[in-house]
Structure 1
Amino acid sequence: MSVIGLDLGTSGVRAVAFAADGRMLGGASAPLTLRRDGRGRVELDAEEIIAAAESVVRAAAAEALQVGDAVQAIGFSVLGEAVVPVDGSGTPLAPVAVSMDTRGIEHAAALGVRLGDGRFTAITGQPLHGMFSVFKIMAGDDAWAAAAGYRCMGDLVAERWSGVAAIDLGQAARTGILDVDRGEWSTEILEAVAASAPWVREDRLPVPVASGTVISGVHDHAAAVLGIAPGTLLVAGTHDQAAAFVGAGGEAGVRSVIALGSSDCLTVATRERPRGLEATGFASYRLDDETWITLAGTAAGGWALEWLATLLGRDIGDVFGALAEDPPSLIVLPYLAGSGTLDNDPSARGTIHGLTLDTTVPELARAVVEAAGFEFHKIIAALEAHGVRVDDLQVTGAGAENSAALAARAAAAGVRMTPVARDASARGAAMLALRGLGGDARDLLVAPDPAAAAEPGASSAGWYAAQRTAYVSLYDVTRGIAPHLTPSQNPSPQNQPHQKEKTK
């Protein structure tokens, strides 16, 4: 018996097949083309996502079958907030608006006024921010208003393959519509939204279900496309950050997880929903009956690294494979897509402070990496100040494989970081698929190597303590300038064409 974890990401799609005893049987990846129009719209093509998902699942399933272990179930790890309108047959009607798309900012502010201070967060567990799906739907044009339904990427794919549109509770929370305590779409949120966007209705949304719930069996046509048996189970997975937490061995009171991806995210777990976080920018949602996930992170983690490499005309591995050995006299605010947690400031802008004619590329590259560590230090301090303990930190994602970069992040954050398996999101999705089959998901975990852990060095502790203070101060002194630089304030061509970005 084998299972596939399907990781639907912003940069690409990956499927990994695992045996029930944890052996990796096969895997495949496909990149996605991200489109930016230069004025805040950031989109993917829904059919490209589906085609990529079918391609990688077919490849992974074939490898599993070659060793005589046919796939029995598929679980999902899903990029947060991305949403698309569909017609009555589930066919997408417009491009997918992804998390960093800014079209929903004004609608988020208006809903906040309508609901009253803190009410949105009290219901949804998420900070009031334009990144959430509901605000993108509210901002939609005629194609969005006339749609028969709205789908995030996991339920879009599930509906295409089984005819059933079901969304896990974690991903449903990231729409900004779910009542996270009840696990149901919030009537109060929908009524407030309907005042300006009456097309947002419950009957146009997928059905929320708990992670690990069997959605349906794959129908005959999809089975032929995917190279698997008809009736192979589709199992509700979870939001990609929660999937990475599960796949990296995260556990309430034992281990917390940092996922280094398009955005860098710190995820912790508790047995109950943390309270008193309404004004912090943290997001919380239920993974299952015993686990609540709380997460925080930057809006542009890996994106910031890719930006610098692209700007220099070099490969990302080349730029960040040769970091300065010593801490540079630089501070970078990595706010290339807004600030993320804690401030959740969409108008925040990236800043590089301390440049001189002597600044080198290795110094600049290290400063960009250190910025993630400074962010994590801020986040950890804020979580613990609100009674949420951050336990032994496991780090996953491609960035965890660069030992020098991991050491720089650990030094900047002032905490120990231990790298774990790269495919944590796909592994977490597969673990939930195995749970849907009644298997023991823990068998899929890979133990980390303690010898690979990155420890903050004592010799640089004083320097980094001062840099953390300066990092916070830099944001404070530049935040008043940033709103002037937003696209709405900056004159630009009215019909600027979309820029295509082939991501990996």
Structure 2
Amino acid sequence: MSFIGIDLGTSSVKAVLVDDRQRVLATAARELTITRPAPLWSEQAPADWVAATLETLRRLKDTAPEAFRRCAGIGLSGQMHGAVLLDARDEPLRPCILWNDGRATAECAEIETGEPASRAITGNIAMPGFTAPKLLWVRKHEPDIFRRTRKVLLPKAYLRLVLTGDAIEEMSDASGTLWLDTGRRDWSDRMLAATGLDRSHMPALVEGSQAAGRMRPELARELGFDAPPLFAGGAGDNAAGAVGLGAVDPGSSFLSLGTSGVLWRTTAGFEPRAGSAVHAFCHALPGRWHQMSVHLSAAASLSWWSSMSGQSEAALLGELGGQIDRPSPVIFTPYLSGERTPHNDPQLRAGFLGLGHDTDRKAMTRAVLEGVAFAFRDGKEALEDGTSPIGEAMAIGGGARSDTWLAILADVLNLPLRRYRQAEAGAAFGAARLARLACTGESPEAVCAPPSGEADIFRPHPDRAAAYAERHALWRRAAEVSHALR
């Protein structure tokens, strides 16, 4: 048997084909674009996701036709929080409002005022990026679209609907809507009512490792499968990454340095920390939960600096020449899209501080890498406040390919980081593991093992860690300027 994992990300759709020994046989990717029609807005066309997904599946087939033909199951991973509004014919009524859209700030306050138990039910503070505030915004500003809305799906659930005909979502992604009773792992009637919706607007709920539809027969024939593959519930992107890394036992941690940044810790139970803007969500596996600090512009900060400087990201990193021996004289606050943990403020903005006539591009690049690391440090302190410290973490995401960046992060966080080559497949690999679980019924422990083989280990250097701790205090004062300019 073989299995496919599809990761519907923000910047691209990625897919992997793995065999029953969990070897990656083929990979494929197709880029996506974001539109920003107004300040704080961030949208995508759902049709683009479908086209990109079908293209990546065909590329997998071209690379490994026999294994592709025998695929038994498909798992979906997806960007979280997006609002896909469907009419009575399951057609999108407008572009999807994405996770990094900040227009619904006022609606967050309305939700928490209208349902005072919101944080206790969901385990999370209301944030503009979550799905529920977006629906209040639509009801207020696009009332005709709200009136015509019959279903609200997250991005990967819409993709499943197109591929299978079934409206099904799983627990980890549903946790990011603000409509889930996260402790009970079920939709909350009270939270739905707070946004003028009810259960009829929601997809069915399953665990990420459970069966969740089968590919439409006509599509399976067109793509060249022997039989329509079974779909697993799948996972939100970070939960899928955790499954791929084997971060399934309580206390296991990883750092994701993707478009956004995440510091993750698996928990045995539902442990909300809403006051510090830490997310408390369901894991993609039954009976497990997790906490996350989330940072909206991680690798996105380097991408932005690349576009501003006219240099490729590889060229900018190459200019640094490897090991960084001291903090940059320049400070950068990475709030290009606002921030979640610990500030929960979409109005925060990024900026450089400390520029002079002698400032060169290398100093500014270092400042960007360090600024993202300092934001992660804020998130780490929020995660650890009042509980046990994080001992070490695995590192994944596109930014984690940079030795220099991981060395800076290890020093700033004073935390050992491990990078495994096997982990490069990321969320798509975790989705493929969930597909296997749905098909075989194996235990998660039997399938979701941590990466094997040698790891690149980035350990904090005492002198640099001390210098960065001192610099972090100054960086926080610069971050306060961002608050003042909001």
Provide the TM-score with structure 2 as the length reference: 0.93
Give per-residue Cα distances to partners, 1:362-407, cap 9 Å, x unaligned. 1111111112221222222222223254242000011111111211
Give per-residue Cα distances to partners, 1:84-103, cap 9 Å, x unaligned. 11122322221111011122
Matched residue, 2:242 = 245
Structure 2: distance between partners of 1:278 and 1:341: 10
Instruction: Report the alpha carbon displacement of residue 185 of structure 1 after superposing the two structures with TM.
Output: 1.3
Q: Does 1:462 align with 2:433?
A: no
The residue identity in structure 1 corresponding to 2:154 is: C
Structure 1: distance between partners of 2:205 and 2:68: 35
- Equivalent pair of 1:373/1:411 in contact (CA under 8 Å): no
The residue identity in structure 2 corresponding to 1:285 is: F
Matched residue, 2:40 = 40
Q: Does 1:318 align with 2:315?
A: yes
Matched residue, 1:481 = 485
- Equivalent pair of 2:130/2:178 in contact (CA under 8 Å): yes
Structure 1: distance between partners of 2:299 and 2:473: 24
Structure 2: distance between partners of 1:106 and 1:123: 20
Judging changes above 3 Å, is the alpha-carbon distance between structure 1 residues 38 and 313 closer, same or farther for their aligned structure 2 residues? farther
Matched residue, 2:426 = 424
Q: Does 1:209 align with 2:206?
A: yes
Judging changes above 3 Å, is the alpha-carbon distance between structure 1 residues 322 and 468 closer, same or farther for their aligned structure 2 residues? same
Judging changes above 3 Å, is the alpha-carbon distance between structure 1 residues 332 and 214 closer, same or farther for their aligned structure 2 residues? same
The more displaced of 473-482 and 292-301 is 473-482
Structure 1: distance between partners of 2:40 and 2:47: 22
- Equivalent pair of 2:168/2:212 in contact (CA under 8 Å): yes
- Any idea what SS the aligned residue of 1:479 has? helix
Residues 90-489 of structure 1 aligned to structure 2 (within 5 Å): 90-116=90-116, 119-140=117-138, 141=142, 142-194=144-196, 200-253=197-250, 255-275=252-272, 277-287=273-283, 288-323=285-320, 325-326=324-325, 327-387=327-387, 389-420=389-420, 421-438=423-440, 439=442, 442-443=446-447, 447=451, 452-482=456-486
Structure 2: distance between partners of 1:444 and 1:169: 18
Structure 1: distance between partners of 2:450 and 2:39: 43
The residue identity in structure 2 corresponding to 1:161 is: L
- Equivalent pair of 1:81/1:171 in contact (CA under 8 Å): yes
- Equivalent pair of 1:100/1:131 in contact (CA under 8 Å): yes
Judging changes above 3 Å, is the alpha-carbon distance between structure 1 residues 431 and 481 closer, same or farther for their aligned structure 2 residues? same
Structure 2: distance between partners of 1:165 and 1:68: 25
The more displaced of 321-330 and 456-465 is 321-330
Judging changes above 3 Å, is the alpha-carbon distance between structure 1 residues 225 and 446 closer, same or farther for their aligned structure 2 residues? farther
Judging changes above 3 Å, is the alpha-carbon distance between structure 1 residues 67 and 42 closer, same or farther for their aligned structure 2 residues? closer
- Any idea what SS the aligned residue of 1:332 has? strand
The residue identity in structure 1 corresponding to 2:331 is: I
Q: Which runs of 5+ in 1 are unaligned?
A: 195-199, 483-504
Instruction: Report the alpha carbon displacement of residue 320 of structure 1 after superposing the two structures with TM.
Output: 2.4
Larger helix proportion of the pair: 2
Judging changes above 3 Å, is the alpha-carbon distance between structure 1 residues 240 and 318 closer, same or farther for their aligned structure 2 residues? same
- Any idea what SS the aligned residue of 2:114 has? helix
Structure 2: distance between partners of 1:27 and 1:444: 20
How many residues are treated as equivalent by the alignment? 474
The residue identity in structure 2 corresponding to 1:168 is: E
Instruction: Report the alpha carbon displacement of residue 111 of structure 1 after superposing the two structures with TM.
Output: 1.3
The more displaced of 63-72 and 231-240 is 63-72
Judging changes above 3 Å, is the alpha-carbon distance between structure 1 residues 51 and 423 closer, same or farther for their aligned structure 2 residues? same
Structure 2: distance between partners of 1:389 and 1:61: 45
Instruction: Report the alpha carbon displacement of residue 461 of structure 1 after superposing the two structures with TM.
Output: 2.8
Give per-residue Cα distances to partners, 1:159-186, cap 9 Å, x unaligned. 1111111001111111111111222211
Matched residue, 1:77 = 77
Q: Does 1:56 align with 2:65?
A: no
Instruction: Report the alpha carbon displacement of residue 477 of structure 1 after superposing the two structures with TM.
Output: 4.1
- Equivalent pair of 1:61/1:70 in contact (CA under 8 Å): no
Structure 2: distance between partners of 1:315 and 1:445: 36
- Any idea what SS the aligned residue of 2:133 has? helix
Structure 1: distance between partners of 2:347 and 2:161: 36
Give per-residue Cα distances to partners, 1:20-51, cap 9 Å, x unaligned. 11111111100001111242221111001111
Matched residue, 1:485 = none
Structure 1: distance between partners of 2:357 and 2:222: 57
Instruction: Report the alpha carbon displacement of residue 345 of structure 1 after superposing the two structures with TM.
Output: 1.2
Give per-residue Cα distances to partners, 1:62-94, cap 9 Å, x unaligned. 534335872110001110111211122322221
Structure 2: distance between partners of 1:320 and 1:408: 12
Structure 2: distance between partners of 1:107 and 1:57: 39
Instruction: Report the alpha carbon displacement of residue 440 of structure 1 after superposing the two structures with TM.
Output: 5.8
Instruction: Report the alpha carbon displacement of residue 147 of structure 1 after superposing the two structures with TM.
Output: 1.8
Instruction: Report the alpha carbon displacement of residue 222 of structure 1 after superposing the two structures with TM.
Output: 2.0
Judging changes above 3 Å, is the alpha-carbon distance between structure 1 residues 209 and 251 closer, same or farther for their aligned structure 2 residues? closer
The more displaced of 245-254 and 353-362 is 245-254
Provide the TM-score with structure 1 as the length reference: 0.89
Judging changes above 3 Å, is the alpha-carbon distance between structure 1 residues 451 and 422 closer, same or farther for their aligned structure 2 residues? closer
What root-mean-square deviation, in Å, do the aligned CA atoms of Structure 1 and Structure 2 show? 1.9
The residue identity in structure 2 corresponding to 1:470 is: L
Structure 1: distance between partners of 2:401 and 2:288: 28
The residue identity in structure 2 corresponding to 1:175 is: T
- Any idea what SS the aligned residue of 1:480 has? helix
- % identity of equivalent residues: 26
Structure 2: distance between partners of 1:440 and 1:24: 21
